[in-house]
Amino acid sequence: MGTSLPYSTLQPILPMVAARFGGGADGERLAQFAVTAPAVGMLIGGLIAGWVLAAVGMRRLILFAILAQGVLGVAGGFLDNPWAFLASRLAVGTAAVLFGTACVTLLAELYEGDARAKAVGVLQGMAPFTAIPCIIAAGLLAERFGWRAPFSFFVIFALPVFLVALFAIPPSTVAAPEAAQSTQRGGGLWRLWPYFLLVFGFSQLSTMGIAQFPFLLKEDGVAGSGPQSLIIAGSSLTMGLGALLSGPLQARIGERRTLLSGVIVAGVGILIAGLSHEAAIGAAGGILSYAGCGLLLTLNFTLVLNRAAAEVRGMAVGFILVAIFVSQFLNPLLIAPLRTAIGLHGAYVVVGLLAIAGPVLAMGVQGYRRRLITAPPAAGRLRI
């Protein structure tokens, strides 16, 4: 459920959707818009999630978002008008983000410190483990029963999740007036802008895998969709493992060291993939970068939630998701000049070096400051 379902149900059936809506260039274009429409809806949902959460309360928002995602999602399998189909895709993206925002905010209220990091890590880390079987099942169902069949997944997931939420989440009232007023003002959010900027940067590293890695594999000789899908699936699982390990690692070595480790691992993996023109080594580098990005995926949320006031956490989670989606959207535009000038492998090398340079510079500055603090005072000349 959540933000992965709108994509995992559609990816295997894009050619079928294109054929259903006329085929040719127009059908393919509509199918591509059907993939990107949820992202637009998610951006809208991220912007309004904090206000909606403050207005209706946690439990009501979760229950409404589950039902909305189920109904709007399954509707896509029955709509033959292309504009109505695209509208349902946009709306299901908005419902998915409202649900995801409420879930992360609920975890932030239930847990603190290391326990919060572990809980958010489990939530983020489980996404690849559920998305990949969903993609496989959607393809098999579509082959047997037609392109409409995978849309039934929205109801299959929504019903049990709704029942669990109905009995597991205690009734909640509308947000307190002072909390709602603070949220409407965006109180305290402006102090979090450096962390939203970090989220944007971390998402640039992970989007190198999402948007650029398949083309890098193609340049390295992995042209078939079958081998590429296996490598990308393995990379996604590695990211999930990284997200799951991020919480325990933060508890053991601290938030800052986990952040530095994640950026360095991601940067080294991207650098290896860029320097190598061998398929196996490039794939290994890409998979390594996904592991580092998994550590950062959990940190995207804990960095902000650990510093956000309780009354603005819902809006903070929404803005985290906005930073992620905007970063993903801008990645091709930011990489295009590098790719034109020095090629995709060269662009990977530049991004990898920049990623590694950040933590190395931060550790060097910290070490210099520590030496200044611990160094004995210089002996002065005595004057008589």
The predicted model scores a pTM of 0.79
287 and 147 inside one domain = no
Looking at residue 180, its pLDDT comes to: 43
**Residue 202 pLDDT > 70:** yes
In a domain, 107, yes or no: yes
147 and 220 inside one domain = no
Which of 175, 205, 222 is the last residue in one of the domains?
A: 175
157 and 279 inside one domain = no
Query: Which H or E run contains 76?
Result: none
Which of 116, 140, 175 is the last residue in one of the domains?
A: 175
39 and 93 inside one domain = yes
203 and 242 inside one domain = yes
> ∠ CA 69-157-240 to the nearest 5 degrees?
100
253 and 329 inside one domain = yes
pLDDT single digits (tens) 145-177: 888 888 999 998 899 999 998 888 877 544 444
Kindly report which listed range (68-72, 228-232, 291-295) carries the lowest average pLDDT score. 228-232
**Residue 297 pLDDT > 80:** yes
In a domain, 64, yes or no: yes
List alpha helices for the chain, DSSP H.
5-8, 14-20, 24-56, 58-75, 82-110, 113-145, 153-168, 177-185, 193-207, 213-219, 225-253, 255-275, 279-305, 313-374
Looking at residue 225, its pLDDT comes to: 59
Looking at residue 258, its pLDDT comes to: 93
Q: Looking at per-residue confidence, does 175 or 341 come out higher?
A: 341
105 and 235 inside one domain = no
292 and 193 inside one domain = yes
Which of 123, 145, 175 is the last residue in one of the domains?
A: 175
20 and 92 inside one domain = yes
pLDDT single digits (tens) 221-279: 886 656 776 787 788 889 999 999 999 999 999 998 999 999 999 999 999 999 988 88
In a domain, 16, yes or no: yes
Q: What is the Cα–Cα distance from 212 to 282, expressed in whole angstroms?
A: 12
Looking at residue 358, its pLDDT comes to: 85
Report yes or no: 89 and 37 within 8 Å, Cβ to Cβ. Answer: yes
In the structure encoding, which two tokens stand for residue 275, read together?
Answer: 């320097």
Q: What is the Cα–Cα distance from 66 to 78, expressed in whole angstroms?
A: 19
Q: Give the pLDDT mean for 207-225.
A: 79
258 and 163 inside one domain = no
**The CATH number of the domain where 119 resides is what?**
1.20.1250.20
Number of domains in the chain: 2
218 and 243 inside one domain = yes
**Residue 87 pLDDT > 90:** yes
In a domain, 236, yes or no: yes
In a domain, 46, yes or no: yes
Q: Give the pLDDT mean for 181-192.
A: 60
| Range among 12-26, 122-136, 273-287, 354-368 rated most confident | 273-287
In a domain, 182, yes or no: no
Q: What is the Cα–Cα distance from 127 to 106, expressed in whole angstroms?
A: 18
Q: Give the pLDDT mean for 86-98.
A: 92
Which domain does 258 fall in, by range?
A: 187-373
Report yes or no: 116 and 123 within 8 Å, Cβ to Cβ. Answer: no
33 and 134 inside one domain = yes
Q: What are the distances in angstroms from CA 236 to CA 51, 125, 128, 323?
A: 32, 10, 6, 21
Q: What are the distances in angstroms from CA 189 to CA 50, 69, 192?
A: 11, 28, 5
Residue 23, phi-psi category: left (phi > 0), alpha (psi -120 to 50), beta (remainder): left
